[in-house]
Amino acid sequence: MIAFAQAAEAAKAPHIDWGALSPAVALVGGLCLVLLLGLARARSVRTVAVPVLTLIALGVTAGLSVWQWNDNASIIEGALAMDDFTRGLTLLFCAAGVGTVLLSWRSAAAAEAGEGEYYALLLTSILGMVILVAAENFVVLFIGFELLSIPLYVLCATHMRREHSLESGLKYLIIGSVGSATLLYGLALIYGATGSTDFSGVAAAAGEVSDDPLMLAGVALVVAGLAFKASVAPFHQWTPDVYEGAPTPITAFMAVATKAAAFGVLLRLFDVALISTSGTWGPALAALALITIVIGNVGAIGQSSLKRLLAYSSVAQAGYMLAGVVVSTRLGIQATIFYLAGYVLMNMAAFAVIVARERETPAGDDISSMYGLGADRPLLAWPMTIAMLSLAGFPATVGFFGKLYLIQAAVDNEYAWLGVAIVVGSAISLVYYLRVIAAVWMRPASDATPVAGGRVPGARPAMAGGSQEADAGVPERRHDTTLDSLEIDDGEGTAAVAAGGTRRLRQPEVTFVAVLCGLATLAFGIWPDPLFELARDAGAAIASLV
């Protein structure tokens, strides 16, 4: 006993600034409570109290971040930087988390996996993101990385009774592990070259060893490892498959929050720790950005599944944002953060509409699920339209200013050709974004014909998952297996489904997410000052840049 006390004294536990750490503490507390509450037997507790508690945890986290605003501190012996950069991104994660919870509310995935586990995993993943973007040390960085990833592997597979979901989870697990291993190897090599795991130590030593093969190999492996997570080409191949197979709310979460976290860590790692070697990784990342823009945009053109389309679109958007990382100026960081904030809003709006239609129509996430939306459902049609216009970079949406900001940042630091790449990519992207808008407004609902193959009926369970009154008259448990629904939809069923398979469901929370994010996309496109302020503060926190 005495020996233990002596040992503890000798180890000298680091001082912890609990105030600065409070957002992360709130997440830990929230996830524990959610997990415990999920054990309750009463259905109402599981389906109502658990999501509400998750929302509260996210709200508290966001509130604590705002409370700590402008108070930049490096805590726990330089392990975590709780600065405005971290907190700005934490706000984005919380926004994405709130959206995901609302989209998951009636989804079959949460019910099948158990609400407690589902929402606790979601909070864990967000905790991992916060730690990842706050990390100022390679070990902490890797812990955050894994804490982010592992819950996501599980969440992808939560729609257990659908084989695509399991496949998606497994695929993500394998590829994600490869990415993690690559990252870890790279971090180890950089440590070997510089002799430090602290960002500040690495930054101090990196200048001298910038041509050291050990260092170069380390940086290359780190880029590859993070590129997996950010779905930067050519490490993006998992993205469409995983996005398509995962439950749509989780897809939305991955597309939005994971991307924000990956770019957060890219910004901090490259623009703080490795800034003095920017001459070596700058051109390489610029080339990756170019490849990503082209591959993402070209890949999206032929897609008929909206989730796949948005997966490729997210690859392309990753390319645009990578341009902001490449320029490695404060302007670049600000532009990237600004774009990320807008990106969260516009993608959330789009995914909310997809979730809603997936439950309502037999077409699943096929583009034909959007047919006739403009005439029948303006509250879903407009958010989708605004989201697509914003992703394409049309004016009066936040996407326009995001692109303009990125282009300015690129031109400002002699990367004018990357600015041109961004606009050329946007020009290509019009082809598929406009196709979605055309589906929403210009095609009558009667045009929709179920697509052949198992995927479409397979997507059906999502709609059966939630509201009970809508399921009246539907054969019991038809959503349980893909095979079941295949049998029902085959034969003369297809014609009937095309005409009358669409139903209106009461899912106000999904409409709410869509409308709110759509309005925000529009509002920030007209008055973007709050987002600029967020970007400015976040950029100011990274002091090593001009």
Number of Cβ atoms within 10 Å of the Cβ of 469: 8
Nearer to another protein, 150 or 389 (CB): 389
Q: Is 416 in the site for another protein (CB under 8 A)?
A: yes
**Shortest distance in whole angstroms from residue 515 CB to another protein:** 15
- The correct pick among 52, 143, 214, 441 for binding another protein (CB under 8 A) is 441
The backbone torsions φ and ψ at residue 339, rounded to the nearest 5 degrees and listed phi first, read -65, -40
Q: Is 411 in the site for another protein (CB under 8 A)?
A: yes
Burial per residue of 42-68, b for 16 or more beta-carbon CB atoms within 10 angstroms, e otherwise: eeebbbebbbbbbbebbebbbebbeeb
Q: Is 427 in the site for another protein (CB under 8 A)?
A: yes
Q: Is 523 in the site for another protein (CB under 8 A)?
A: no
**Shortest distance in whole angstroms from residue 443 CB to another protein:** 8
- The correct pick among 66, 160, 174, 375 for binding another protein (CB under 8 A) is 375
Q: Is 528 in the site for another protein (CB under 8 A)?
A: yes
Nearer to another protein, 269 or 337 (CB): 337
Binding mask 331-360 for another protein (x = CB under 8 A): ---x--------------------------
Number of residues that make up the chain: 546
Using left for φ > 0, alpha for ψ between -120 and 50, and beta otherwise, residue 283 falls in alpha
The backbone torsions φ and ψ at residue 207, rounded to the nearest 5 degrees and listed phi first, read -55, -40
Q: Is 423 in the site for another protein (CB under 8 A)?
A: yes
Nearer to another protein, 211 or 447 (CB): 447
Q: Is 536 in the site for another protein (CB under 8 A)?
A: yes
- The correct pick among 434, 486, 540, 545 for binding another protein (CB under 8 A) is 434
Q: Is 426 in the site for another protein (CB under 8 A)?
A: yes
Question: Which ranges of 105-247 does DSSP label H, i.e. alpha helix?
Answer: 108-113, 115-134, 138-156, 163-194, 199-206, 213-230, 238-245
CA distance 346 to 525: 11
Q: Is 430 in the site for another protein (CB under 8 A)?
A: yes
Q: Is 371 in the site for another protein (CB under 8 A)?
A: no
Q: What is the DSSP string of 353-385?
A: HHHHHHHHSTTTTBGGGGTTHHHH-HHHHHHHH
**Shortest distance in whole angstroms from residue 141 CB to another protein:** 30
CB 245 within 8 A of CB 168: yes
Nearer to another protein, 257 or 306 (CB): 306
CB 470 within 8 A of CB 505: yes
Closest CA to 524 of 402, 422, 405, 437: 402
Where does this chain touch another protein (CB under 8 A) — which range of 56-64, 243-251, 436-444, 478-486?
A: 436-444
Question: Which ranges of 327-464 does DSSP label H, i.e. alpha helix?
Answer: 330-360, 373-376, 378-392, 398-412, 416-441, 455-458, 461-464
Question: Which ranges of 302-329 does DSSP label H, i.e. alpha helix?
Answer: 306-326
**Shortest distance in whole angstroms from residue 286 CB to another protein:** 16
CA distance 228 to 261: 12
Q: Is 312 in the site for another protein (CB under 8 A)?
A: no
Q: Is 395 in the site for another protein (CB under 8 A)?
A: yes
Nearer to another protein, 108 or 346 (CB): 346
**Shortest distance in whole angstroms from residue 398 CB to another protein:** 12
CA distance 197 to 138: 5
CA distances from 458 to 418, 453, 475 (A): 41, 9, 15
Residues near another protein, by CB under 8 A: 334, 374-375, 389, 393-396, 400-401, 403-405, 407-408, 411-412, 416, 419-420, 422-424, 426-427, 430-431, 434-435, 437-438, 441-443, 528-529, 532, 535-536
